Structures are given as C-alpha cells and as structure tokens.
C-alpha cells in the first residue's frame, strides 16, 4: 500500500472533517500518504486531488460541512466512468480509497474494490438511514441543532398558547424525529416507520390544553409529509392556533458534537487499519457503541432498523 484516497459524497454531515482528519493522521503514522479527492466521485473521475498532511487537517476536527466538498454524481454507476476513476487513481499512485457518505456512495466503494482498488465505506449522513449500523456520522450534531431550535420554538408556543408542527430532516427515516421528539418533550412524534392518527393527536393536544398546558409541540419527520400539510389535517379536528415550521438545512451545519467527533475519529482510524489488513468492499458501522464491519453487498439486501422503543416511551407518556 502506498497512498490512500479519501472522498466525501452525498449530503455533508458534521463530523465528516473529523473522519478525514483521523484517516490522514492514522495513515501518516503508519507510513502511508493520503490524498483528498475533492467533490466526491465527480472529482475522482476529473482527477481533482489534493495532498493531505497532518498539519493541514489538524484544525478540521471542529469544522462542520466537508472541506473536501461533496457532489452528487450518478454517472459513477456506469462501468466506463468507473474505469476512468481507476485510471486517475493509478496515475496518482493511489491504491486504496475511503468513501464517507450515505449508502448510495457505497455502490462506488464496491465498484472500486471490484476493479482492484480496495475501498472502505464510512457512514456519513445526518439521516441515520444506513443498514447495519445504529449510528451515522453527523446524526448527533443534527439532533442537537434541531433540539436547540425546538426549545426556542417552545418559548413562542407557550407565550401564545400555540401548537407548533416542526418538520425535521431524515429523508425517509424517522430517527432524527424520534430522538429529537423524545428529547424535546413533544406531544406527538410522527414518523414514516409507524402509522399515525391525526384525530388521536388532536385529542391528545386538547386534553393537554384542558388540563392547563399552554402549548403543544408535534415533531414531524420530513419523510411523512410537509408541516403545512399536517397543519391543514390537524385543523380538521380542532380549532388550534397552529403554526408549521420547517427546520431545513440548518440541521446539516455547525461544529460537530463530542459524540460525532469521537465516533468519526474512531471510524476513520479503524478504516485505515482495515486497509492495512488488505480488506476492501467493507462498510464500517457501530452497534451499541462498538465498531463493526459488514460486506457492502449485505447492506444492499438489508434495511436500517430504527430504535422504535423511543416512540413507545413517548406514547406512554403522552397518550
Ligand atoms: O441526506 C441528508 C439530507 O439533508 C436529508 O435529510 C434531506 O432529505 C436531503 O439531504 C436534502 O437534500 P438537499 O441538500 O439536496 O436539499
């Protein structure tokens, strides 16, 4: 092994930079060179490479976003495009690659491995929607950002006796909503993983107001519907002073939390060791805080399993 290439792909997530830093420092410690590939797989094919040193990644641990930039590049599914990428890697003496991104990015890592470039995938997305792992890099920061926003919304909600429907991100996955809903003390958490009944939610809110509560909070995963649409549905079952709020991309930004920095660092360090052991075609995951690996191929036949006990606990406390 001579040089490791590293790229970030898909939506940026806080902690991606911490992972790149960990890969760089671990690789250099083990006598390997590291090359940053800018703009994900698009940059790989274009040969947009930058040499990484322990010094130029050092302060990256505290920065959100991805300093290597990211890009969506569906063209990388085409075999002739993949071959161009491999040619670029060979031209620059890069014989292994680490890909940080969502499960879409793992197809690229597998393709490279099959073409002789051992590659490892790290789960980088705020959505926590990747199979075979209960944690993805960026989840914790996104949840804390959303929580802080909802705590502020609560001040306005209670000052005006309002109900707020807060849309959080997650694509088709309700994990951010489940965590943030429970942590913010929401009256209802609405996610794609479970059926819901708007009439029942309206009854819960009415009971709360009748008992003296001065506001209501509904945390709604974006994979269910838009907050404004939900508001229209809710108003069919009660005369609430309700507002819809979409938190949006603010959830993707910001300095990573301790948890995201530590886990991203552990994963980056581990990925280099896997490559040193001659491994490729693997996805790094975490289960109950322990690092583990799975064949990338197995991920494609699997789905992410959410911790739905969070919903059960919230139901028990609100219904
Ligand atoms: O995958 C991360 C994510 O932020 C999702 O939560 C969201 O659905 C999507 O990306 C938004 O994508 P874009 O940045 O392209 O609007």
| 127 catalytic per annotation | yes
What is the mean predicted confidence (pLDDT) over 298-307? Answer: 94
pLDDT given for residue 17 in this prediction: 98
315 in any annotated domain: no
Q: What is the pLDDT of residues 83-93, one digit of tens each?
A: 999 999 999 99
- Whether 232 and 184 share a structural domain: yes
List, in sequence order, every residue forming a beta bridge with 36; answer none if it has no partner: 6, 50
CB 317 within 8 A of CB 309: no
For the CA of 102, the closest atom of ligand 1 is 1
For residue 188, which phi and psi values (nearest 5 degrees)?
-150, 145
CATH number, domain containing residue 117: 3.40.50.450
pLDDT given for residue 47 in this prediction: 98
Q: What is the pLDDT of residues 173-215, one digit of tens each?
A: 999 999 999 999 999 999 999 999 999 999 999 999 999 999 9
Distance of CA 171 from the midpoint of ligand 1 (Å): 7
CB 33 within 8 A of CB 144: no
- Whether 179 and 216 share a structural domain: yes
Share the mean pLDDT of the chain. Answer: 97
Query: Which of 1, 48, 44, 6 is closest to 25 using CA atoms?
Result: 6
- Whether 121 and 39 share a structural domain: yes
Query: Residue 222, SS3?
Result: coil
Q: Is 170 annotated as a binding residue?
A: yes
- Whether 171 and 222 share a structural domain: yes
List, in sequence order, every residue forming a beta bridge with 188; answer none if it has no partner: 218
- Whether 149 and 283 share a structural domain: no
Q: What is the pLDDT of residues 26-80, one digit of tens each?
A: 999 999 999 999 999 999 999 999 999 999 999 999 999 999 999 989 999 999 9
pLDDT given for residue 242 in this prediction: 98
- Whether 260 and 116 share a structural domain: yes
CATH number, domain containing residue 156: 3.40.50.460
Cα angle 258-250-140, degrees, rounded to a multiple of 5: 25
Q: How many domains does the chain fold into?
A: 2
The pLDDT of residue 147 is above 90: yes
pLDDT given for residue 319 in this prediction: 83
- Whether 268 and 121 share a structural domain: yes
28 in any annotated domain: yes
- Whether 260 and 127 share a structural domain: yes
Mark which of 234, 253, 272 sits at the end of a domain.
Answer: 253
pLDDT given for residue 103 in this prediction: 82
Distance of CA 109 from the midpoint of ligand 1 (Å): 21
Q: Is 25 annotated as a binding residue?
A: yes
Q: How confident is the model at residue 104 (pLDDT cuts 50, 70, 90)?
A: confident
Query: Which of 146, 150, 185, 137 is closest to 169 using CA atoms?
Result: 146
What is the mean predicted confidence (pLDDT) over 104-117? Answer: 96
31 in any annotated domain: yes
**Residues contacting ligand 1 via CB (< 6 Å):** 11, 125-127, 169-171, 222, 252
Cα–Cα distances in Å, from 140 out to 14, 31, 175, 252? Answer: 9, 32, 11, 11
> Which residues touch 48 (CB under 8 Å, ≥6 apart)?
37, 38, 39, 42
- Whether 110 and 8 share a structural domain: yes
pLDDT given for residue 271 in this prediction: 98
- Whether 104 and 186 share a structural domain: no
- Whether 206 and 164 share a structural domain: yes
203 in any annotated domain: yes
Q: How confident is the model at residue 15 (pLDDT cuts 50, 70, 90)?
A: very high
- Whether 147 and 270 share a structural domain: no
318 in any annotated domain: no
Q: What is the pLDDT of residues 256-295, one digit of tens each?
A: 999 999 999 999 999 999 999 999 999 999 999 999 999 9
Q: What is the pLDDT of residues 135-145, one digit of tens each?
A: 999 999 999 99
Domain that holds residue 39: 3-138+256-300
Q: How confident is the model at residue 1 (pLDDT cuts 50, 70, 90)?
A: confident
Distance of CA 11 from the midpoint of ligand 1 (Å): 6
From the candidates 12, 127, 140, 175, give the one annotated as an active-site residue.
127
Query: Residue 168, SS3?
Result: strand
289 in any annotated domain: yes
265 in any annotated domain: yes
131 in any annotated domain: yes
- Percent of the chain whose pLDDT exceeds 70: 100
The tokens of 314 are what? 């919230």
């Amino acid at each position: 092994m001579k040089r490791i290439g590293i790229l970030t792909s898909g939506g940026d997530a806080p902690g991606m930079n911490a992972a790149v830093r960990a890969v760089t420092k671990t690789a250099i410690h083990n006598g390997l060179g590291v090359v940053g590939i800018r703009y994900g797989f698009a940059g790989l094919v274009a040969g947009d490479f930058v040499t990484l040193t322990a010094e130029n990644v050092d302060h990256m641990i505290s920065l959100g976003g991805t300093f290597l930039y990211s890009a969506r590049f569906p063209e990388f599914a085409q075999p002739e495009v993949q071959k161009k990428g491999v040619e670029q890697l060979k031209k620059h003496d890069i014989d292994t690659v680490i890909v940080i991104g969502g499960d879409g990015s793992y197809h690229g890592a597998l393709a490279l491995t099959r073409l002789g470039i051992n590659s490892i995938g790290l789960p980088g997305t705020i959505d926590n929607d990747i199979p075979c792992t209960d944690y993805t890099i960026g989840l914790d920061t996104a949840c804390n950002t959303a929580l802080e926003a909802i705590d502020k919304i609560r001040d306005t909600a209670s000052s005006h006796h309002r109900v707020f429907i807060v849309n959080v991100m997650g694509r088709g996955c309700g994990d951010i909503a489940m965590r943030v809903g429970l942590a913010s003390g929401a009256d209802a958490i609405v996610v794609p993983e479970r059926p819901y009944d708007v009439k029942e939610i309206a009854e819960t809110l009415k009971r709360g107001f009748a008992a003296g509560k001065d506001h209501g909070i509904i945390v709604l995963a974006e994979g269910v519907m838009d907050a404004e649409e939900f508001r229209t549905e809710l108003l069919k079952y009660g005369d609430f002073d309700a507002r819809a709020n979409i938190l949006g991309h603010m959830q993707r930004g910001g300095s990573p939390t301790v948890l995201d920095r530590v886990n991203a660092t552990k994963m980056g360090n581990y990925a280099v060791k896997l490559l040193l052991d001659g491994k490729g075609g693997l996805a790094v995951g975490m289960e109950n805080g322990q690092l583990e690996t799975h064949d990338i191929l197995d991920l494609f036949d699997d789905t992410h399993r959410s911790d739905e006990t969070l919903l059960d606990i919230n139901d028990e406390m609100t219904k």
